[in-house]
Amino acid sequence: MLKQRIITALWLIPIVLGAIFLLPANYFAWALVPVFLIAAKEWGSFIDPSCNVTQWSFTATLSLLLIALNLAVPVDVLWFKGQLHPMFLAIITIGVFWWIVSIGLVFSFPKSASIWKKSPMLKSMFGQLTLIPCFTSLIALKSLSSNVHPYYGGTLVFLVLLVVWATDTGAYFAGRKLGKHKLMPSVSPAKTLEGLVGGLITSMVVVAGIMYVAPEQELGLLIVVTLITALASAFGDLSESMFKRAANIKDSGTILPGHGGILDRIDSLTAALPVFTFIYIAMWM
């Protein structure tokens, strides 16, 4: 399993970084569509693991929404005088509110599952609230690149990835070495409070790196934004675990050997990206 994970990561990471830094923003927006459609198909199994029609109908619905977004708000009109297009801003804001609600669902699981577990409509809505704000956040950040700073938007996306990777890595090793207190055993039995704290501490490595490269940044603000983004990533992971547990599914898919499905790789990002983008627009620009 570990060998497969390493092999998959070795070819996946260059593709991801190449897309982030080398693809023009308009191509990047369209390249995201098939990736999110695979994630949508995987979410469809959370809605009804035994019904392919439900899974494909959810995928088709999300496909229409993502294509409509790209056509309605092209990348070249996404930002105007430092302001994000109102449609994208509204979607990202709704996404942040969804994650506040999702945290409540995670904390109250399995009791909260009595509200949505048998409702395909609610689980479909939760899937849209999880995937679409992440999609729009990626495009919004990436499109901040300009002729003067061609890699600026890509760098912002990369920073969120670094925070998520640092948090996941720190949580994994701290949990294995020090983990004694279960974080939320009803949602994800393997995760511990010590792992979460270890992940938050490890995320400070990203802060140190940013301050080394760009010492003009405000340290206090950078620490707060990083910690909030890291916490959001942890709850993104827990949220997907909650829906998988309710559907009695171990992995969201099998497309990435050793890693599972697309959702298993982007679950942390589905929360971290909208939260970071919202904070960046509100406090950092």
Q: Mind listing the pLDDT tens digit for each residue in 72-124?
A: 999 999 998 889 999 999 999 999 999 999 999 999 999 999 999 999 999 99
How many structural domains comprise the chain? 1
Could you tell me the two tokens for 124? 């479909």
User: Is residue 154 assigned to a domain?
Assistant: yes
Q: Which domain holds residue 102?
A: 2-72+82-284
User: Is residue 89 assigned to a domain?
Assistant: yes
pTM listed for this prediction? 0.95
User: Is residue 133 assigned to a domain?
Assistant: yes
In this prediction, residue 259 has a pLDDT band, given cuts at 50, 70 and 90, of low
User: Is residue 77 assigned to a domain?
Assistant: no
User: Is residue 237 assigned to a domain?
Assistant: yes
